Structure 1
Amino acid sequence: MRDPYAADVESRRAEHERWLRGPAGYLAAVERIELPIGATREVHGLVIEALPDGFRVDGERTGPRTVETGGRYRLRLSHQNFPAIVILDAESPRLREPVVPRWFPVDRAYRFVLPLEPDGARADIRTTRDQDRPAERAGWFTVPLDGRGYRLSATRFLEPGAGEIEVYFSDATSGRESYRMRYVPAEREGDRWLLDFNRTYNPACAWSPFYNCPLPPAENRLPVALRVGEMSPGTSELNVPSEHVAVVARFGDRDAAERATDALKSAGFADDDVSIVARGATTDESGRFVPGGLMVTVLASGREEAAKRVLHAHEAQDVSTNRVGATGTVGQRTV
């Protein structure tokens, strides 16, 4: 008989993938418009004003949410005390790309019901857009991992539309098998809290450069590997053998990235060896800010210098060489 718990986790994952690839998912994002508090902007026929505690759309007050425009576009109203409009396009080219979420196997050992040690101190959270989102440290969880207890802080944002408690963390798989940071929700169960790392998910920035995502606080950067929950984004098509060398470069916009990929293909690199993946801004292992963008990746074993010349000729930024191990797909690399 199938394990009901595993079936529930897998059902949630399937639903997440359907949403991700839908017209309101992260892959549909095509533009971000910053809208400072007090500013008004007409976007796809809707007049939107940013308020201290939400938005006004065509004269009606509303909170952070996704609104319909009556056409192919939706507008995600993101407040975070730094209001912005993310434009979602039901015909976004990214929805046709073979990028998919990947998951570690379900492991009940990472499901915890724990007490929350209250804190309540103000603890603003740095974001991928170099902002400090007002937040409070709701408390501390002591999580048994790898034979010892690790204290992880739980965050509640102080902003319109917020209120849930989550743990933002990185671990020894981050930037390798998993995205550079991940989030796990905390759900109340009586006088305790459910912290199920099988429900760990990637931030929006793993899928699109048009979002503003929390970075893990220093106390939540774990030295142990949590092979549970969501992995780094993958692809459903591009298989690579072991020990390939990939050249990766960042571009500021899709047009430039696509010109570079066309040039790489004209230079003799196979179509299946060249890909574009959106990456949100993040931090490196030392906590320094790393900007996001569109990452062009080319499998270039033996032709690394040729690939770099093409990328530099098209004004690529941050060109680097990475070794790809025997992990399966292009999307399993950190891009």
Structure 2
Amino acid sequence: MTEQTTTTTEAFAAEWRTWHAAQEARLADPHGFLAITGLHFLDGEPRRLPDAPGVWTTGPEGVAVVLGDGEELVVDGEPVRGEHRFGVLPERGGVTARWGDAAIEVAKRGGNDLVRPRHPGHPLRTEFRGTPAFPPDPHWAVTGRYVAFDAPLPTTVGAAVEGLQHVYDAPGKVEFELDGRPLALTAFNGKEPGDLLILFTDATSGVTTYAANRALFVAAPAADGTVTLDFNRAHNLPCAYTGFATCPLPPAENRLPVAVEAGEKIPYERVAGQGAES
């Protein structure tokens, strides 16, 4: 290996370590997914939750909570008491209220209104020791080609929570090769305009990597459709750590028949059988 190649490989690994540290910092935020203590689906029957104040319901006019004597939430910086209506929430949208040092997430997922309290002292967060991963290797950063569909394709996928479904618009697919084998993955819209999100499984899923899914963000394609799939940055979604997440599953065509030995592995919490509430 030449000195230039060694320098390039070291720089690649350093960039990956910075990325992975940022991933773990977001995950372990005091009000991140590791702090969730419950997943409560709402209906028309008033319910008092064990880890949030008030009595909760939902209906045609949206989510409402009735706070008892001495109970208070802070919504949009304003303290509220008595009855408070969050209204009709958009799909994949939500509101976060504060209750002491906890964050009370009120959201809609798969057409269902839900409450997910996030408590910083939850053991899953306080005992988090990072996520194991394959060593970064430039071999797994491959060039692909984005092929747009004639029109975005509504795609229904399952969820980590049984019985729940998500619908995403798939704008196109990414074609690429791994070790000379032609492959393709359906892509969803990413966080930023033009960016892509790919959900997939492969031959390592359920063996060394999380069984249900891994995710990969892809930067917006170049003018000729060229993209880079850096599988070193294939990461776990929150459902890999906790049963209180509603993460989408990959579409059937995104089950790769090859072993992608790159990116994040099964979390320690899943291996140990701890912290993954269901």
Task: Tell me the TM-score normalized by structure 2.
Answer: 0.73
Q: What is the match of residue 74 of structure 1?
A: 103
**1:98-113 residue pairs with structure 2 within 5 A?**
98-113=128-143
Query: Could you say if the C-alpha distance between residues 277 and 150 of structure 1 is closer, same or farther in structure 2, counting changes exceeding 3 Å?
Result: same
Query: Could you say if the C-alpha distance between residues 138 and 82 of structure 1 is closer, same or farther in structure 2, counting changes exceeding 3 Å?
Result: farther
Q: What SS does structure 2 have at the residue aligned with 1:100?
A: coil
Q: What is the match of residue 127 of structure 1?
A: 159
Paired amino acid for 2:64 = T
Query: Could you say if the C-alpha distance between residues 223 and 48 of structure 1 is closer, same or farther in structure 2, counting changes exceeding 3 Å?
Result: farther
Q: What is the match of residue 47 of structure 2?
A: none
C-alpha distance in 1 between matches for 2:231 and 2:251: 18
8 Å CA contact 1:178–1:230 kept in 2: the answer is: yes
Report the CA distance between 1:230 and its aligned residue.
0.6
Q: What is the match of residue 136 of structure 1?
A: 169
In structure 2, which of residues 8, 17, 28 is the aligned counterpart of residue 10 of structure 1? Answer: 17
**1:233-248 residue pairs with structure 2 within 5 A?**
233-234=267-268
Query: Could you say if the C-alpha distance between residues 34 and 156 of structure 1 is closer, same or farther in structure 2, counting changes exceeding 3 Å?
Result: farther
8 Å CA contact 1:40–1:48 kept in 2: the answer is: yes
C-alpha distance in 2 between matches for 1:108 and 1:4: 11
Q: What is the match of residue 243 of structure 2?
A: 209
**1:18-57 residue pairs with structure 2 within 5 A?**
18-35=25-42, 38-41=62-65, 45=73, 46=75, 47=84, 49-53=86-90
C-alpha distance in 1 between matches for 2:26 and 2:227: 26
**1:215-230 residue pairs with structure 2 within 5 A?**
215-230=249-264
**1:268-279 residue pairs with structure 2 within 5 A?**
276-279=273-276
Deviations 1:179-211 (A, max 9, x none): 012111121143233322111111111111111
Report the CA distance between 1:218 and its aligned residue.
1.2
Report the CA distance between 1:68 and its aligned residue.
5.3
Q: What is the match of residue 147 of structure 1?
A: 180
Q: What is the match of residue 283 of structure 1?
A: none
Q: Which runs of 5+ in 1 are unaligned?
A: 56-62, 236-247, 249-273, 280-291, 294-335
Paired amino acid for 2:241 = W
Identity of aligned residues (%): 25
C-alpha distance in 1 between matches for 2:40 and 2:118: 12
Q: What SS does structure 2 have at the residue aligned with 1:188?
A: coil
Deviations 1:213-270 (A, max 9, x none): 11111111112110101100026xxxxxxxxxxxx9xxxxxxxxxxxxxxxxxxxxxx
C-alpha distance in 1 between matches for 2:245 and 2:258: 28
C-alpha RMSD over aligned residues = 3.0
Q: Which runs of 5+ in 2 are unaligned?
A: 1-6, 43-57, 76-83
- Whether 1:232 and 2:256 are equivalent positions in the alignment is no
Deviations 1:276-296 (A, max 9, x none): 4244xxxxxxxxxxxx72xxx
C-alpha distance in 2 between matches for 1:78 and 1:10: 33
C-alpha distance in 2 between matches for 1:184 and 1:224: 16
More deviation in 204-213 or 91-100?
91-100
Paired amino acid for 2:154 = R
C-alpha distance in 1 between matches for 2:20 and 2:31: 17
Task: Tell me the TM-score normalized by structure 1.
Answer: 0.61
8 Å CA contact 1:27–1:207 kept in 2: the answer is: yes
Query: Could you say if the C-alpha distance between residues 169 and 96 of structure 1 is closer, same or farther in structure 2, counting changes exceeding 3 Å?
Result: same
In structure 1, which of residues 171, 177, 186 is the aligned counterpart of residue 202 of structure 2? Answer: 171
Paired amino acid for 1:73 = A
8 Å CA contact 2:215–2:236 kept in 1: the answer is: yes
C-alpha distance in 2 between matches for 1:207 and 1:29: 11
